[in-house]
Chain A
Amino acid sequence: MSSELELCVASELRNLAAIADFVSEAAARAGLDDTQVFEVQMAADEACTNSMEHAYEGREDGRVQVCCFVEDNVFVVRVTDFGKPFEPETVPVPDITLPLEDRSVGGLGLFLMRRLVDEVQFSRDSTGGNQVTLRKRRRMGHT
């Protein structure tokens, strides 16, 4: 895949399935194996969920842009929204060693994102949007 692929959808949760299909297809075309495709689409799903539920606070008239490209040997997914600023440092990190009864239920999406891809980067772009950049290194040869 040499060029950039872009999908722009309204901030409605029902669009998550289309985003998953879009990212999965781009990742497969970029040469990621099945496991990596699953992991990167899951990270993208969680990033887009955050945009819809937190940046837009459930409003469905926002825009979520998903952009996929390859940089060196890395598959990149960039999610942009124009909702309220996202501050990842304010999200609690779940303690996954606690017994189930004591688990808090927040922060799991961000935690999973960080574990599913090689790098997660948060930034504000020049137009005032939130950007989440997910990087997944391509595995070469057999897995």
Chain B
Amino acid sequence: MEIKTTQLRRCDLIALSGRFDSSAAPALDQALRASLDRGMFHIVVDMSGVEYFGSAAIRALVIAFKECRRWNRGDVRLAALPEKIRQVFDIAGITPLIKLYDDTVTAVGNF
């Protein structure tokens, strides 16, 4: 599992790769929180390298969505969501509520 945050002018880009089960979820939560704590509420998560995303990781993401959207101050957007992870998001009923982009360039450009 790997998490890499890049601070861009308009947003933070958090690139994830590998397996995000319950043992990895706290690190994801921390990375998202680090952006929020700096007052950055525009976040793009690059999901292209994600092999697995369990319920604990989904929870960490949902918490960040809620935080960012409070008072309309921002959003978390997902780029390059692998198909099998997208199916899990579909089951969890999350897909219709989030903005998905084919790639990070488009996701970042839309902020």
- Main secondary structure, interface of A, reads helix
B54 & A14 in contact (Cβ 8 Å cutoff): no
Q: In angstroms, how far is the closest chain B Cβ from the Cβ of A115?
A: 5
Bin chain A's interface residue count.
20 to 34
Q: Which of B94-111 contact A (CB under 8 A)?
A: 94, 97-98
Q: Which of A29-76 contact B (CB under 8 A)?
A: 35, 38, 42, 45-46, 49, 52-53
Q: In angstroms, how far is the closest chain B Cβ from the Cβ of A12?
A: 8
* CB within 8 Å for A14 and B55 given contacts A97-B93, A100-B62, A115-B91: no
- Main secondary structure, interface of B, reads helix
Q: How far is A46 from B21 in the complex, measured between Cα atoms in Å?
A: 9
Interface string of A1-42 (1 = CB under 8 A from B): 000000000000110110010000000000000010010001
B23 within 8 A of A: yes
Q: How far is A100 from B97 in the complex, measured between Cα atoms in Å?
A: 7
B93 & A49 in contact (Cβ 8 Å cutoff): no
* CB within 8 Å for A103 and B54 given contacts A13-B21, A112-B92, A115-B91: no
Q: In angstroms, how far is the closest chain B Cβ from the Cβ of A109?
A: 4
Stretch of B32-40, B42-50, B63-71 lying at the A interface: B63-71
Residues of B within 8 A of A (CB): 19, 21-23, 52, 54-56, 58-59, 62-63, 65-66, 69, 84, 88, 91-94, 97-98
